[in-house]
Structure 1
Amino acid sequence: MYTGQDLTDKVVVVTGGSAGLGEQICYEAAKKGAIVVVCARRINLIGKVKEACEALSGKDAFSFQLDIADPENVETVFEKIKAEVGPIDVLVNNAGFGIFENFMDIDLAIARNMFEVNVLGMMVFTQKVAIQMAERGIGHIINVASMAGKMATAKSTVYSATKFAVLGFSNALRLELKPLGISVTTVNPGPIQTEFFDKADPSGDYLASVDVFVLEPNKLAKEIVYVMGTHKREINRPRIMEGASRLYTLFPHIGDLLAGGILNKK
């Protein structure tokens, strides 16, 4: 079994790999010798990430334009990876987006698209990769969920719903795939200093209000790559929010006070 300390010639596929956390995961995997496959919609960016990965790893990297919400495109990209790169050792499902708005105000077409990207498209890609991994008896699937999937707050109704779905899916999938030699890890970050918030919170007020909790994408990426090839169940960051989420589960009334008070910054 390989580890995140040595990913030499392991094929690591990252969705949403054109920027932010996904981009940093690509770079950290490349530093460990992986053959990185960058997947994202923005074709103008994935080529640059691919070239940077090649410089870091000293070996070929690949980039494929991927619209995770389009099942036909997912099928096409998966077949291209299988034909041009080879079997996938690690899949990082990082693609996703959020909109922070009161539920009564949100456009439900946006809500539907959020589920297609954050949940349904991820499931389509994961099923194809899991079947391939099961045939080889080895593999690692890493799903980037969110602290919003452990502790919901106001103005994150739809986004939290998608991330609760990712967590439920991942926890059941872990049990199904473990006997087949495949690990499943969920990553549950709080706010990260990335362009995610350009869409989720255009005003910038939310990030400013939770500055003490904000994560640096490169540091979280190092932690994610470090657990590749292991049986790590979850990565929860920052730790103070992990503690709050545990309190939320054990003492839901107190959790509601937290979520509706000091953690309600949207």
Structure 2
Amino acid sequence: MPVSKSTCVGKRALVTGAFSDIGAAIAREVAKLGVDLVLTAWRRDALAAVATACNGVNVEIIIVDLGERDAAFTLWASATASGPIDILINNAGFGYFRRFEEIDWTRDAELMQLIMTS
């Protein structure tokens, strides 16, 4: 069933990883439906550009690195401070290629925190 703009107006969506690629495209499409946005990622400048492209809706930006311990709790508290979140688009993620003997365990821990815990 297609989503209509009339059913979306007045809703708020939290989009993680909204600063580029899929996250930015999702944010722009959701904005076209009249959904207010809470955009989050770790790059303020890129989020600001996405926010500017989301015309006609309220956009809040929260800078957070979901690879850090307890960042998801901090994000949720900040995102819901202005009202409830009706839609969660959990798009944040990263990956990197390396040989096994070149693994950076600190970076792998951030990856696990982001993908599995946050």
TM-score by length of 1: 0.40
Pick one of 66, 73, 76 that aligns with 2:74.
76
The corresponding residue for 1:142 is: none
Q: CA deviation at 1:72?
A: 4.2
Q: CA deviation at 1:10?
A: 1.5
Q: CA deviation at 1:112?
A: 1.6
- Note the 1:36-75 alignment, pairs <5 A: 36-53=37-54, 55=55, 58-75=56-73
Larger Rg: 1
SS at match of 2:101: coil
Higher relative contact order, structure no. (Cα contacts within 8 Å, ≥ 6 residues apart): 2
The corresponding residue for 1:141 is: none
1:50-69 CA deviation, whole Å, 9 max, x = no partner?
A: 2221x1xx121111111112
CA contact (8 A) 1:37 1:64 kept: yes
- Note the 1:196-235 alignment, pairs <5 A: none
CA contact (8 A) 2:69 2:113 kept: no
The corresponding residue for 1:125 is: none
1:140-171 CA deviation, whole Å, 9 max, x = no partner?
A: xxxxxxxxxxxxxxxxxxxxxxxxxxxxxxxx
Pick one of 74, 88, 94 that aligns with 1:97.
94
Residue identity matched to 1:78:
W
The corresponding residue for 1:114 is: 111
CA contact (8 A) 1:37 1:50 kept: no
Q: State whether structure 2 residue 32 is matched by structure 1 residue 31.
A: yes
C-alpha change, 1:111 and 1:59, in structure 2 (3 Å) is closer
TM-score by length of 2: 0.85
SS at match of 2:100: coil
C-alpha change, 1:102 and 1:5, in structure 2 (3 Å) is farther
**How far apart in 2 are the matches of 1:5 and 1:102?**
47
Question: Which one has a larger percent helix, Structure 1 or Structure 2?
Answer: 1
SS at match of 2:34: coil
**How far apart in 2 are the matches of 1:41 and 1:62?**
14
- Note the 1:141-220 alignment, pairs <5 A: none
